[in-house]
């Protein structure tokens, strides 16, 4: 994505590139989508989401505001950045360093309880803000009152900005696609094994080793830096439950793909015939009626989801990162499927 840093006001497209970078950075550090959007709503008002912006466009005015959240005076940020080797000002040789420095400063403020002053209406810590699932509008006001404390409120503008960024960024999408591509990169390259030591070697070249769960474990670990568990039972205890199969049918039909809300990068689990809720197998859903997974022999393989069968019963769909592409399978019936 293109990053824009300048002492000038940005277009919406330029802000969007900057905002997506910030969202990716903070999602990877366990902020919620809601909190990120609430802060971005304020950043848009304060700086056009531009780390190079000086208050009133007066370059080098250390007594005015500077940066994404308009630290005031500017030395509140520049002194912090100087002490840690982050750039500021007009040397734009490494754009990501400008963003990373300012985002790391905000993370430092969270960790050290700086800048944020809880008010009676929003009586919670900066750390709690980052984990909140309250609405983007609520969190935009919380950030304004507890962090920014601006001279000009423009509260409704900040709330509208927050809702816009909540709806129009890909929260975790680039990360989940990295994971998907890692899984796809192993198609036809790995030998199936359940040996504990060999399961660690999913990405060996020219030939790796995996079973169904180690493939997913290592792809999420490498592609997104998160731990989803090393085997199916562990994986079924983590992430978000997207859909549970009420009747334990055998096949993930086109109708079920539609009503389940499954997205690209979600994991689909099977249980045993005797105990459907037990864990026996996992596949990754790719959208467009496709799975990818490693069940035996040389793999993993790409399969037609609505034709795929397993010895166990279809149990559930889980999501570990948001932002996957919604499926668009062909031939899906528009008749609503009703459980039971």
- State the CB neighbour count (10 A cutoff) for residue 160: 16
What is the model's pTM? 0.57
Calculate the average pLDDT of the chain: 89
Residue 2's pLDDT is 78
Residue 91's pLDDT is 64
d(CA 197, CA 193): 10
Question: Quick one: which of 14, 16, 68 has its CA closest to 42?
Answer: 68
Residue 174's pLDDT is 66
What confidence tens digit (pLDDT) does each residue in 298-339 have? Answer: 999 999 999 999 988 899 999 987 644 444 433 332 222 222
Residue 335's pLDDT is 25
Ranges of residues in the chain with a pLDDT under 70 are 1, 91-92, 172-174, 322-340
- State the CB neighbour count (10 A cutoff) for residue 26: 21
Asked if 249 and 313 count as a contact pair (C-beta separation under 8 A), the reply is: yes
Question: Quick one: which of 194, 145, 197, 137 has its CA closest to 161?
Answer: 137
What confidence tens digit (pLDDT) does each residue in 261-298 have? Answer: 898 899 999 998 777 778 899 999 999 899 999 999 99
Domains and CATH numbers, the chain: 12-170 (1.10.530.10), 174-319 (3.90.1720.10)
Residue indicated by tokens 């005076």: 73
């Amino acid at each position: 994505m293109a990053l824009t840093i300048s002492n000038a006001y940005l277009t919406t497209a330029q802000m969007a590139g900057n905002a997506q970078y910030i969202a990716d950075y903070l999602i990877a550090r366990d902020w919620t989508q809601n909190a990120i959007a609430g802060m971005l709503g304020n950043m848009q008002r304060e700086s056009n989401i531009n780390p190079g912006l000086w208050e009133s466009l007066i370059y080098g005015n250390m007594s005015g505001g500077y940066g994404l959240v308009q630290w005031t005076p500017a030395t509140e940020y520049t002194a912090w950045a100087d002490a840690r080797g982050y750039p500021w000002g007009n040397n734009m040789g490494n754009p990501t360093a400008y963003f990373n420095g300012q985002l790391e400063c905000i993370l430092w403020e969270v960790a050290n309880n700086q800048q944020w002053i809880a008010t009676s209406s929003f009586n919670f810590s900066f750390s709690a803000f980052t984990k909140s699932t309250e609405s983007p509008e609520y969190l935009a006001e919380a950030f304004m009152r507890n962090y920014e404390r601006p001279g000009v409120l423009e509260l409704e503008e900040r709330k509208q900005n927050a809702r816009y960024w909540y709806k129009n960024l890909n929260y975790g999408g680039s990360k989940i696609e990295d994971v998907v591509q890692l899984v796809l990169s192993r198609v036809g390259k790995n030998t199936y094994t359940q040996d504990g030591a060999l399961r660690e070697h999913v990405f060996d070249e020219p030939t790796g080793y995996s079973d169904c769960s180690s493939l997913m474990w290592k792809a999420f670990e490498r592609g997104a830096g998160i731990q989803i568990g090393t085997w199916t039972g562990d994986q079924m205890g983590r992430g978000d439950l997207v859909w549970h199969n009420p009747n334990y049918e055998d096949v993930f039909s086109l109708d079920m793909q539609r009503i389940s809300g499954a997205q690209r990068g979600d994991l689909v689990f099977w249980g045993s015939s005797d105990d459907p809720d037990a864990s026996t197998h996992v596949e990754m859903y790719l959208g467009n009626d496709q799975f990818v997974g490693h069940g035996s022999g040389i793999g993993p393989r790409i399969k037609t989801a609505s034709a795929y069968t397993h010895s166990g019963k279809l149990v559930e769909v889980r999501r570990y990162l948001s932002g996957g592409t919604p499926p668009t399978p062909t031939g899906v019936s528009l008749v609503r499927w009703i459980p039971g």
